[in-house]
Amino acid sequence: MKRAVLLSIATSSLLLATNGDTLIGVGVESRAMGGTGIASFNGSENALSNPALLAKSKADREFSFGSTIFDANVKVSTTAGQGTDGKTMPGTGVSRTSEQDISLIPVIAISHRVSPNLVFGLGMYGTAGMGTDFRKDDTPYQKDSKNPQLMNIGLFNIRNNLILMQFAPSIAYKNGNFGLGFTAIMQYGELSIDFDTYDPQNGYVRNHIGDGPSQDYGYGFQVGGYFDVTPSLTIGAVYRSAIDMEYDGQISKASQAFGYGLDPNGLPAKSDHLEQPEEIGVGIAYKYTNVVYTADYRQIKWNEAKGYKDFGWDNQDVIGIGAKYEGGSYWIGIGANFSNNPIPNNGDTTKVTSMGPNTNGDTMNLLNYAMFPAIITEHYSIGGGMKVGKDVSIATAFVYAPEVSEKANARSVGVGDVETKHSQQSLTLSLKYQF
């Protein structure tokens, strides 16, 4: 199993995901319909949206295989060299576009009906991630030829990468017009944070921070239920537990390099936890003639998760809406997904975290906006599928997130103000076999 997970990760590369660092939906139908799936049946892919809906499967067995081709455009600009008062030591600043490559994110899902009321599911999914790569054209820590006291610090040759994969066996039970489901989640994570710093008191010596990626395994669960109010109206609810992960030497070294993450005595504190947050959600699906209308609400509790809360993330409210026309041998879907930006401008406010006292919100801003710029708030989607045989169907979905821009202070870290611009686009392809 470990080998299978690692092989899947090798194909998935980096994903710079959407609601925070999580995809808006797993599976082609969910992504085509704005990430909804808490109350709408999408086949074997429901294991991570609402496992209870697996019990609605009309086929005895279903196998679904797909992949999302994901591309993110991230541009970060700074006013490098500007003093803390915003006036002294004016710098020309830098502007860099992340060079992260297009990512392939796998989805494999299986469902099997054990009895008329019981269905077993099994899936392997790329679910979350984030990262940037600003090494190209960055020449940090070179003394300015006209003024040796000023330097083009660039974007620190930043390269970072978070990848999460989940292996999820599920069980679903139905009785009449209601159903219950449970998914056990086994998560593999890999995190690497690499960048350069300098020591202005020692001849501007260049130091590299980062020893390569760290890995960890974590465990969690999801429970869900649905109720058919009428044959046309379904409501659903889900709860997903937090999954604690610890990446040795990653977050602690990165934060300490900027003087952040110290204990009350000013000594380096150790905290390498990055916990995927707890989630709750409710949804509704209504079918009128040949059209299914869906709406979901989820809350992602970033502010209660280890690591994310230490870097000032806020809880995120997510609303997804969708519609799907079913034409017998084909379907067409559209959707939209809206949320708040979970990364606030921490400014110069005083923060006390599990890593110790922090009086430098500027540091948090730099790490968030340059390394993990999860600021996307809108997504629009379209997709469709058709049968190509008695038991085989193909489907595709396209999701577009228009560019958003956020600016924050990072002057005491030496880069002045930092502004991030971020947009995304992705194409999901899927093959489904029912038998």
Residues, the chain, total? 435
**Residue 195 is encoded by which pair of tokens?**
């960048």
Asked if the model's pLDDT at residue 384 lies above 80, the reply is: yes
- 14-44 residue pLDDT tens: 444 478 888 888 889 999 999 999 999 998 8
What's the domain range around 320?
2-434
Asked if the model's pLDDT at residue 2 lies above 60, the reply is: no
- CA neighbor of 298 nearest in space, from 313, 279, 312: 279
- 346-379 residue pLDDT tens: 775 444 444 444 446 777 888 888 888 889 999 9
Q: Which of 116-125, 254-263, 329-338, 346-355 has the lowest average pLDDT?
A: 346-355
- pTM of the predicted model, to two decimals? 0.86
Token pair 């797993």 in the structure block, residue:
26
What does the pLDDT average to over 212-218? Answer: 93
Instruction: Quote the strand ranges of 42-93, DSSP E.
Output: 61-78
Count of domains in the chain? 1
Question: What CATH number did the domain enclosing 400 receive?
Answer: 2.40.160.60
Asked if the model's pLDDT at residue 126 lies above 80, the reply is: yes
- CA neighbor of 173 nearest in space, from 219, 229, 121, 125: 121
| Contact by Cβ (8 Å): 36, 335 | yes
| Contact by Cβ (8 Å): 325, 333 | yes
pLDDT of residue 25: 86
| Contact by Cβ (8 Å): 422, 375 | yes
- 272-316 residue pLDDT tens: 899 999 999 999 999 999 999 999 999 999 999 998 888 889 999
pLDDT of residue 259: 64
